[in-house]
Structure 1
Amino acid sequence: MPPWTPSDSDLCEIHRREGRLDEAAVHGRRAVTLDPADAAGWYNLGLALYDRLEVAASIACERRAVRLRPDVPGPHFELAEGLLLSGQWEEGWREYEWRWRLPGVPPLVPPAVLEWHGRTAARPWDGRPLPDGTLLLVADQGFGDTIQFARYLPMAAALCPNLVVACSLDMLPVIRALPYGHRTVTAWEEAPPFAAYAALSSLPGLFGTRPDTIPAPLPGLRAEPERVERWVERLDGLLPRGYRRVGLVWAGRPTHGNDRNRSLTLARLAPFFALEKTVLVSLQKGPAQAEAARYYGAAPLVDLGPELESFADTMAVLGQLDHVVCVDTAVAHLAGAMGRPTAVLLPYAPDWRWLLGRSDTLWYPTVTLHRQPAPTRWDEAIRGAVAAVTGSKFRASGRPSRR
């Protein structure tokens, strides 16, 4: 068998994954020139152009791919990403629903669970009132998505009073900390009979959300008082008084599809290491947590990662910090939802929810966004985050309010 020779379309995607975006675009354009009827070529070129932040051109490529192969979900989903990033949300939400048809994506509710509750009775929720039956809302995506879209729970509950939220054990402390006391389950066998179901991430589309109609984060997201008391005592014993407290998270889950672009190393945050009257508090979890042991800088760093057993602990600690600096991961959403001053470091081509060109975000009023000016260039974003931290007020007593 002769060796495999990659096509220009293949090379476009290979180079994109390697971060060689100029070369990816060259091969992608050559691919669609040689074979303009190949939907895969337009799809791969659209991916590369999105990463180059040529969003309008990326959308045009994915539209071409959709016209050529309307049954293939990949171009629909990437079209959704471009539309949502550019603020075209009405069409973007419709295309976003194609994610359920992507290869390897499991159904929202396993068929066996629907069998338990009757296939004819349980149906996807269409957003209309359901005054009598039970609505099952599934926290279907990452931790950050669950936190971000939990703001829609009161809107859903107003239409469906019998509301049950299915979430992971990791997210249980967050959902339980929300006001209104929503019923939660963490295993399918715990779910009661339900008449309809929907993904938490589908609620923005079901409610017709536009950039100017985003609901505010839910008020009252706070840690358990007893846990707060324990962490107040712990931090007061660990951290020097009179110092600004800055929480750090520099890496997300390594398994995330875009982790190569969104995560960095602790060493890249060196401008924070020289801040005076500042104590750095590592909230980092996962493999990157080990980097804290190799820290060397003028500002003291306290590694809390090993002690953070759940998001309940993270919430309690966040309430005691003056500022949080993090990459685009769940802590950014949690801190933002709690109203904590937060600086989020974003890659050049960010996730759609952060939109384009903004230093603020419509989702969280206390969050500032610090974007790479070009792929892999973190220095400018980090300098902006340093300015946000040093320009913010903090309690000279070194003990933030417990409120």
Structure 2
Amino acid sequence: MTEYLPLKSGSDQPAVTLSVDEWIAEAVAHEQSGRPDEAEQIIAFVIAEKPDYVPALFQASILSYKRKQMQEAIERLERALALAPDEPLLHRNMCELCRSQWMLDKAVFHGRRAVELAPDDAAAHYNLGVLHYDRMEIEEAIAHARRALALEPAMASAHFELAEALLLNGEFAEGWREYEWRFDMPNSPRLLPPTDRPAWDGKPMPNGTVMLIGDQGFGDTIQFCRYIPEVARRCQNIVMACSSEMKPIVMQQNSAMQYFDRWDQVPAFDAYCPLSGLPRLFQTDLNSIPAPIPYVRPDPAKLAYWRKRLEDLIPRGYQSIGIAWAGRPTHGNDFNRSMALRDLAPLSQLQNTVLVSLQMGPAMAQISDYYGAAPLINLGAEIADFADTTAILALIDHVVAVDTSIVHLAGAMGCPVSVLLPFAPDWRWLRDRKDSPWYPSVQLFRQTRSGVWTQPVSAVASNRSSVVERRAHLRT
């Protein structure tokens, strides 16, 4: 029997009476229309009237999650699970909620239970696969991504998760193919405006024009722009669609390219390709990564300016270490890859050393709380663009940074750089390696436990004796 509940409006208008499920649907409609307060009011009313109604508790958890109130979301979902312990959807959502809060053991329990209760639920297998990646159980991550795709072949998120796990494993051939699904993922931005031009297949176009698109972040653009000279060998006419910030770097790869950063200015082209699609077209494997290091060099005028500036700032005879401890806050994996400045404390105790902050963005404010023995020079406010950063990197002795564009830029220049990696790193750093086939001057220092930076930072600090020697070697 359907139960109907009246909700008083608080005015002279009569109370609205709907069924319980109609009230929940009303709350969902409010939430999806960007009215979370109204949705919360309705759900709170339903729970007050029926505190043990599982669908209401489930929706309440979703509302808390959307409002980034994670602990409340977990508590609400736990109440629902206590009432319906064999409901697979509740376990599936709890798996993802706990994973987002880095409660990985608890997430595993719920993820496995969801799969046990609903073995044909593709989303449950996908969630469990993502969790296994976070735990660096890569074979299991691949297996669950494949199971999700067997159940739902067009599930773009599962294709992309499979791609990342395969690429992390060094299985590039299949990994690059699966990586193409990234543009079909939910909420993925469109690669380019609607066009009748085809995607480039990598074949020579002696009389045509190919448009390359900087389709991902700054680090990705730096990593993949190394392929532009190979593109030029197959197609002389290149149009480069990329953000203006990247122009000083990308144009070094082919000065004859047309460059634009607004779609309303796009010139004519015959085919297009994202930069991140070039490794697949050129059938890149671990032994064929183009590495013409350095493929990025500083501007002479910028170099002269920053040489004088750093000579004024850095005491003679001191080692200089550039540092960056946080990436872009809006990055989907920023909570995993970034740290706090205080986590770099072992570097602050080095003798005859100056730390040169290359940090940009909100994390730069942490410098006000720095009290290390090593002097800290904050250049963030003086760095106008990547041309400045490139010149600074060419002049300092070493770079220590988390996985941001800084390490890609330093690697592309052949500068010595120590990369601090989370326990479950981005695919491009591969598994169990201390070096990178993408950047010969890079050394990798990995977390041994999720969220704990003590070991890799201490390892970098104890490794400093070889820094100056490596720098001298690389400069020759």
TM-score higher than 0.5: yes
Q: Does the 8 A contact of 2:226 with 2:253 survive in 1? A: no
Q: Does the 8 A contact of 2:92 with 2:127 survive in 1? A: yes
Name the counterpart of 2:193: 110
Name the counterpart of 2:297: 222
Could you tell me which amino acid in structure 1 is paired with residue 153 of structure 2? P
Residue correspondence of structure 1 range 3-22 to structure 2 within 5 A: 3-5=56-58, 6=77, 7-22=90-105
1:189 offset after TM fit, Å?
2.9
Name the counterpart of 1:384: 459
Could you tell me which amino acid in structure 2 is paired with residue 374 of structure 1? R
Larger helix proportion, structure 1 or 2? Answer: 2
Change (3 A) 1:331 1:217: farther
The structure with more radius of gyration: 2
Change (3 A) 1:205 1:401: closer
Structure with higher RCO (Cα < 8 A, 6+ apart)? 1
1:392 aligns to what SS in structure 2?
A: helix
Equivalent residue for 2:284, pick from 202, 209, 222: 209
In the alignment, the residues of structure 2 paired with residue 219 and residue 376 of structure 1 have an alpha-carbon distance, to the nearest angstrom, of 33
Could you tell me which amino acid in structure 2 is paired with residue 88 of structure 1? E
Q: Does the 8 A contact of 2:419 with 2:442 survive in 1? A: yes
Equivalent residue for 2:240, pick from 157, 165, 169: 165
Q: Number of residue pairs matched?
A: 393
Q: Does the 8 A contact of 2:414 with 2:474 survive in 1? A: no
Could you tell me which amino acid in structure 2 is paired with residue 258 of structure 1? N
1:369 aligns to what SS in structure 2?
A: strand
1:385 offset after TM fit, Å?
1.4
Q: Does the 8 A contact of 2:229 with 2:254 survive in 1? A: no
Name the counterpart of 2:199: 124
In the alignment, the residues of structure 1 paired with residue 470 and residue 146 of structure 2 have an alpha-carbon distance, to the nearest angstrom, of 52
Deviations 1:163-201 (A, max 9, x none): 111110111111133455433211223322000000000
Asked whether 1:57 is paired with 2:140, we answer yes
Asked whether 1:273 is paired with 2:348, we answer yes
Name the counterpart of 1:71: 154
Percentage of pairs with the same residue: 50
Provide the TM-score with structure 1 as the length reference. Answer: 0.94
2:443 aligns to what SS in structure 1?
A: strand
Q: Does the 8 A contact of 1:244 with 1:395 survive in 2? A: no
Q: Does the 8 A contact of 2:228 with 2:253 survive in 1? A: no
Asked whether 1:91 is paired with 2:174, we answer yes
Name the counterpart of 1:359: 434
Asked whether 1:252 is paired with 2:335, we answer no
Q: Does the 8 A contact of 1:279 with 1:301 survive in 2? A: yes
Deviations 1:182-223 (A, max 9, x none): 332112233220000000000001111111111104535112
Provide the TM-score with structure 2 as the length reference. Answer: 0.80
In the alignment, the residues of structure 2 paired with residue 284 and residue 334 of structure 1 have an alpha-carbon distance, to the nearest angstrom, of 14
Structure 1 alignment gaps of length 5 or more = none
Deviations 1:349-389 (A, max 9, x none): 00000000000011000000000011012111111211333
In the alignment, the residues of structure 2 paired with residue 217 and residue 229 of structure 1 have an alpha-carbon distance, to the nearest angstrom, of 25
Equivalent residue for 2:336, pick from 256, 261, 284: 261
Name the counterpart of 1:44: 127
In the alignment, the residues of structure 2 paired with residue 194 and residue 275 of structure 1 have an alpha-carbon distance, to the nearest angstrom, of 54
Equivalent residue for 1:101, pick from 184, 205, 212: 184
Could you tell me which amino acid in structure 1 is paired with residue 178 of structure 2? E
Q: Does the 8 A contact of 2:321 with 2:400 survive in 1? A: yes
In the alignment, the residues of structure 2 paired with residue 100 and residue 239 of structure 1 have an alpha-carbon distance, to the nearest angstrom, of 46
